[in-house]
Structure 1
Amino acid sequence: MSLQQFAETHEVLNQVPTLDGANLYRVDLPLQEWTARFGGGWADQQLQEYGALAGGPLMAAGFLANENKPVFKSHDRYGNRVDLVEFHPAYHQLLQTAIEHGIPSQPWSDPRPGAHVARAAMNYLHNQPEAGNACPLTMTFASVATLRLQPDLAERWLPKVLARSYDPRNLPLGEKSGATIGMAMTEKQGGTDVRANTTRAWPVGIGGPGQAYELVGHKWFCSAPMCDAFLTLAYTDKGLSCFLLPRHRPDGARNQFYIQRLKNKLGNWANASSEVEFRGALAWLVGDEGRGVATIIEMVALTRFDCMIGSSSLMRQALTQASHHCAHRQVGGRVLAEQPLMQNVLADLALESEAALALTMRMGRALDHAHDEQEEKFSRLVTAIGKYWICKRAPNMIAEASECMGGAGYVEETILPRLYREAPVNSIWEGSGNVQCLDVLRALSKEPGVLDALFVELGDGHGDARLKAQIGKLKAAFADTGEIQYRARQITEDVALALQAKLLLEAGNSVVSDAFLASRLGGEGGRVYGTLPRGVDVEALVARSTPHPV
């Protein structure tokens, strides 16, 4: 008998259908509901269109951009120093799509009610197929708040920063149709402690706001080094100051901005992060000398908000993949999503994802009402709380989602390994967990009305005894100032959970809110996912989070 008839060893069975081409907005009911709840419902059609892009061509581009990391070219073939970073076309495709759809610009160029919420929803969708390119998008978006503090620079730069045109060419600003902005803050010896910086700035002429200076020094982290300009910090005789440093000088010559190397990172592979030196680089002072931290702080707040969006979106994509897998994969002759223990895990992951989204969108609403005193104080506090808690929860949540898929969640053909590698960066960028918790204490102790604003937001517990008890616990924690810095993480966590519980209660979906309060505030949940107490409607929670063809 010929062995050729045995060449086909098996029939392929019990495999999960592809999610390729899924509309990431249509399959995400919580995103639709929370966007509408906080004033972004007018963007529904725009989000429908972007959801199709995110789940289709951008998802494919995300894989290509990560498989082909950026490459640093210090010199051209003739030996001239050029300091260029080359990216795969897929990376440019991702940035072009985002910029043309207004992700870095829409709330500024069209500041209608709900604009920041709608933009957060768009960014939430864009981050899911590839989060690394969100770095230049976020910095460009957030730079507007700082550039507006220096009207003469804003007049020159903002038309290109807000343009819905992606122009990656390495040219002077006047020759480009659009511009992106990066950041270069931290140095080797200081890290988060920017006041330990040693970079110096000297005025070219008279000095002062909007005037030219020359900078000498280094930056240990310069994000997205192919941006057209960078906001950076350097010392003048009057103290740490903020500057806008372009890649090109006014005469079109390249600025004295030198890339030393690209960082070899755990994740964030599609994006370039670098070490740079300024060797007499020309830059313009933004704001007053000696007020650099105060000048840059609004930009920092917005980048921290985008860390909330980014981590929430990574969690959502992990949940989408895991719930889709379990809805189709059979074990022991039964679909995984119908088995009680897996239902417990998936429902718990769904709660984590939706609570993160709810707090993120609430922050977007605060930005949309920034001139309201209550909202301004709420935003000041919850930016740090949200960044700490949501970014801290993402890695474990994504790891659990990967485990739901077994070996399939551990191979690069799926997106789960990339989501897991990406997750820690948002906890580190713009201030690690400890920095955020200390910022919470700083806001509460030094800024009048912030603590009151928190308890105004939380209210009286909305009729739920568990939330009321949590609010009482918080009041006692703030009244006890002993070793408060030592307790800062616990306090921040307790505030985050109270805010998330309050938002879910207000939204009126008792299936979600009851499960969240029972597991997060009721003392019945465990330290790992999949330990929801009895009585939770896990089937409804799983159905709510599972993508279905539409």
Structure 2
Amino acid sequence: MAGSTHTVSNQPEPLTGYDVYGADRALVEAVQRHLDPALLDEAHGELSALGRSAGSAQLQEWGAQANEFPPRLRTHDRYGRRIDEVEFHPAWHRLLGKGVAAGLTSAWTRPGGHVRRAAAFLVWTQVEAGNGCPLSMTHAAVPALRTDPELAAEWEPRLTSTVYDRELRPAHLKAGVLFGMGMTEKQGGSDVRANTTAARPLAEAGAYELTGHKWFCSAPMSDGFLVLAQAPGGLTCFLVPRVLDDGTRNVFLIQRLKDKLGNRSNASAEVEFDGTWARRVGEEGRGVAAIIGMVAATRLDCVLGSAGLMRQAVAQAVHHCSYREAFGGRLVDKPLMRNVLADLALESEAATTLALRLAAAYDDGGEEERALLRIAVPAAKYWVTKRCAPVAVEAAECLGGNGYVEESGMPRLVRESPLNSIWEGAGNVQALDVLRALRREPRALDACLMEIGRSRGADHRLDAAAKNLLTELGDLEGVEGRARRLAERLALVLQGSLLVRFAPPEVADAFCAARLGGDGGAAFGTLPSTLDLAAVVERARPVE
């Protein structure tokens, strides 16, 4: 029969036209758990609306376009005048505008704002992770600016606005602004105290002139940037506006855009300051103290972003295997594939559960919760972001050759997956930050142990892991060489504690067996066959 060779069969339809939020049972339950009941109806409505947008074919196409046509640098206009502008595909602006409108920069101004935003950020990452960078930095700039009440009063209403205004013009003429950040330099990397950018005081109170460079400056088309520079009194935090109040462009020379492995829709630049006007944030010599709030908030967003990427990878894998048939039945019903999918689902749910718990600590704001964040954020950032890449790769493999083809969307997830582990302090930095909290802030450890202790007696494997963790913590001699091991164990015990308390029994049982009890292998798909793996996979299936 003519054309019969072109009949397409046994190819699952694309995962589209669904509510990314409503189909994520672990996320919905976390929101219900951490939000005031009076806020739940409104929050579920907002998140479901965002989830339906995120799951639509239109927005999925925008995400693909933003990556297929990455940003381009224009250093000069047609007449040779320096303009230092970055051009983005229209899809980028559409996505960024929807992210701003969804409140992804306004957590600080509404009840339960951090939990609601965290859930939204996790959902939105699944559309396109690149525009999460400016959204994250704009959100995170608020605590840094609050170290200077005058600056906070001026800028916070703009930062927390739900209006996206892409035009480069004075901030006081805009209904909403976005912020970027520039800390690392060629010679220093994570060692920000090695910065060489110089800040010279000007006659105007609080004003300085910056001269130097930044090796990584993300989102260079933002309206303002928080940067570190050496003032007469030491390393200091500064606000660099892109456009000055009189409408002239500040000196912000974009030397080139980075050619990155992933995150290609987002511009990351090398920039030079040459007589650049800046406003001091906080006191001279207190730059790290001023910007640390921004760093902590962006690190939590790294956890959320990785949780979102893992969730999307798992959703795609489970969806594909639910409709793909091989060897006489659906892939999802094959014992070995079910084992792989369940193992991936455990990693995804554990990441989501821990991330939302930390967001809730921000909303609480109490002393104990702040102490918990001090140690749990770097531990979570270390572990969750490390798990993202192997999850994405294994999930792509569940689609077979289809998962290696760009049209599936899986290669973009794979390329994006290592990013959050590298940015905002790579693995070693996070592990050392856990040690720093242990040594300098005993209350942080107390808060963490109190959180873990809430599940005492619920699972013998968790109890044993918590006991082993205490033994590790009791011997800090020569601990730097095993800081990663300590951060990993801390994160795993925290995840186990939360899952035992809040997840269905089959999920908690499987996690404690494989992650804490040693009854699992190094690769995914090595869970004990005695577990209820079908229930774990069904829970992860992206169906409302």
The TM-score normalised by the length of structure 1 is 0.96
**Structure 1 residue aligned with 2:51:** 51
The answer (yes or no) to whether the contact 1:96–1:166 under 8 Å persists in 2 is yes
Q: Deviations over 1:304-350 (max 9, x none)?
A: 00000000000000001000000000111210000000000000000
**Structure 2 residue aligned with 1:37:** 33
**Structure 2 residue aligned with 1:454:** 448
Q: 2:21 aligns with which of 19, 25, 43?
A: 25
Q: Write the distance in 2 (CA, Å) between the matches of 1:396 and 1:60.
A: 25
Q: Write the distance in 2 (CA, Å) between the matches of 1:405 and 1:141.
A: 36
Q: Write the distance in 1 (CA, Å) between the matches of 2:279 and 2:60.
A: 39
* Worse-matched range after superposition: 333-342 or 20-29: 20-29
Q: 1:115 aligns with which of 90, 113, 116?
A: 113
The answer (yes or no) to whether the contact 1:225–1:273 under 8 Å persists in 2 is yes
The answer (yes or no) to whether the contact 2:469–2:490 under 8 Å persists in 1 is yes
Q: Deviations over 1:53-104 (max 9, x none)?
A: 1111322211110111000000111111000000000000011001112111
Q: Write the distance in 2 (CA, Å) between the matches of 1:217 and 1:231.
A: 14
Q: Percent identity?
A: 51
Structure 1 unpaired stretches of 5+: none
Secondary structure at the aligned position of 1:486 is classed as helix
The answer (yes or no) to whether the contact 1:441–1:488 under 8 Å persists in 2 is yes
For these two proteins, the number of residue pairs brought into alignment is: 538
The answer (yes or no) to whether the contact 1:15–1:329 under 8 Å persists in 2 is yes
**Mapped pair 1:15 → 2:11:** yes
Secondary structure at the aligned position of 1:485 is classed as helix
The 5 A counterparts of 1:103-502 are 103-105=104-106, 107-110=107-110, 112=111, 114-205=112-203, 207=205, 211-370=206-365, 372-459=366-453, 461-502=456-497
Q: Write the distance in 2 (CA, Å) between the matches of 1:420 and 1:15.
A: 22
Aligned-pair RMSD on alpha carbons?
1.2
**Structure 2 residue aligned with 1:542:** 537
Secondary structure at the aligned position of 2:480 is classed as coil
Q: State the 1:374 CA deviation.
A: 1.4
Q: State the 1:145 CA deviation.
A: 0.8
* Worse-matched range after superposition: 518-527 or 173-182: 173-182
Q: Deviations over 1:167-206 (max 9, x none)?
A: 0011111232211010011000000000111000011116
**Structure 2 residue aligned with 1:90:** 91
Secondary structure at the aligned position of 2:138 is classed as helix
**Structure 2 residue aligned with 1:77:** 78
The TM-score normalised by the length of structure 2 is 0.97
Q: Write the distance in 1 (CA, Å) between the matches of 2:458 and 2:94.
A: 49
Q: State the 1:159 CA deviation.
A: 2.1
Q: State the 1:455 CA deviation.
A: 1.2
Q: Write the distance in 2 (CA, Å) between the matches of 1:196 and 1:157.
A: 29
Residue type of the partner of 1:25?
A: Y
The answer (yes or no) to whether the contact 2:138–2:179 under 8 Å persists in 1 is yes
The answer (yes or no) to whether the contact 1:200–1:235 under 8 Å persists in 2 is yes
The answer (yes or no) to whether the contact 2:341–2:525 under 8 Å persists in 1 is yes
Secondary structure at the aligned position of 1:9 is classed as helix
Q: State the 1:108 CA deviation.
A: 1.7
Stretches of 4+ aligned residues off by more than 4 angstroms:
none
Residue type of the partner of 1:108?
A: W
Q: State the 1:521 CA deviation.
A: 1.0
Q: State the 1:462 CA deviation.
A: 3.3
Q: Write the distance in 2 (CA, Å) between the matches of 1:16 and 1:296.
A: 47
- The 1:52/1:508 distance shift into structure 2, 3 A limit, reads closer
Residue type of the partner of 1:197?
A: N
Q: Write the distance in 1 (CA, Å) between the matches of 2:245 and 2:97.
A: 26
Q: Write the distance in 2 (CA, Å) between the matches of 1:359 and 1:162.
A: 25
The answer (yes or no) to whether the contact 1:462–1:505 under 8 Å persists in 2 is no
Q: Deviations over 1:435-494 (max 9, x none)?
A: 000000000111131222121111162332111111111111111122211111111111
